Structure 1
Amino acid sequence: MNIAQYIKKHIDKNFNEGDLPFRTSKKSVTVGHTLCDFGEIENCIYFLIDGIAQVNIMNSKGDVRIIDFFFPENFFCSYTSLIQSTPSDVQIVATTNCELEVVENSELQLAYKNSLLANKLGRYETEKLYLKKVKREKDLLTKTREEIYLELINNKSEIIHQLPIDSIAKYLGIHPESLSRIRKKKTKSN
């Protein structure tokens, strides 16, 4: 699914796929490619057509943690950097080979000034991202890592198997050995 199809599905059923309010470009990246690095100023927003991307953050000890994954049919970028034009405090990396549709920030800002559709899309995505972040925060405060892992498996089972164990462990905030124990426990219970 590309951006135009996404808009037709989620924003405006009558949308003509040739009437995007901004220009886009296609981009293919390979696993490990950094889309936005620590300290860079983000100037694009990405729509994931295929693949998985992750958002990393570095703690005060220099350890990298994964704070989010993005799967197909999602927009993503270093939002704080994009919105504030400040150096990114996160790193965005392709976890798998990815097919992307890219919108330059200048195109997006022009569309916001001239297009109700662009504003509807922006609002929809902002609300979706906010709800995702609130859910993640609540889960981290109220659920065990095992419960979060099982939910991830249940919701993204066809995709999650593409992720390395250490990436899933970093996302959950646990050691890979702890995740192995959780996985063994799940296998025994099935």
Structure 2
Amino acid sequence: MERSGFPSLRAVLFDRDGTLVHDVPYNGDPARVRIMPYAREALQELRARGIATGVLSNQSGIGRGLLTVEEVCAVNRRVEELLGPFDVWDFCPHLAEDGCSCRKPAPGMIVNACRRLGIGTADAAYIGDIGIDVAAAEAAGSRGVLVPTPVTRAAEVAAAPSVAAHLGAALELLLDPPFSALSGTGS
């Protein structure tokens, strides 16, 4: 784990499932949304510092016919009810074989989010729980931080340039002065 602030940080973008909320595969039910440890504290800290926040998520369940756009949006609204407002939201409804530019590990969602926020991709970080999240950040020219969960493969952890045990620790890597995750409750 490296330790250094990211002084030009103007936005922190997050993967949704497995990062901000517990991963429920192909979740279309807002009642099943449960936030991850330190998510609330991390977002409060970013907002207090005036750093923009966003959520960017692959949602292939739409392309597979397992979810509707309306269901994904309902889950996103529930995430926002629990964690507060985000400056930007985006999701990719495509399957990997569709070859779109938005599906992670492609950088499209990060590039578009930064454009909407009026910042360069070098001024953003992307936090996620699997290797494609970090790969998307690298492809966009953003800083990527991996916060592994039990489904994260060991090879993904080994390959990630920045790894944090939880969202609070991810902010410690990104913020200058660092965010003290120890002061949070981890709820």
TM-score higher than 0.5 here? no
Bigger proportion of residues as helix: 1
TM-score when scaled to structure 2?
0.30
In terms of Rg, which structure is larger?
1
Bigger proportion of residues as strand: 1
Higher relative CO (Cα under 8 Å, sequence separation at least 6) belongs to: 2
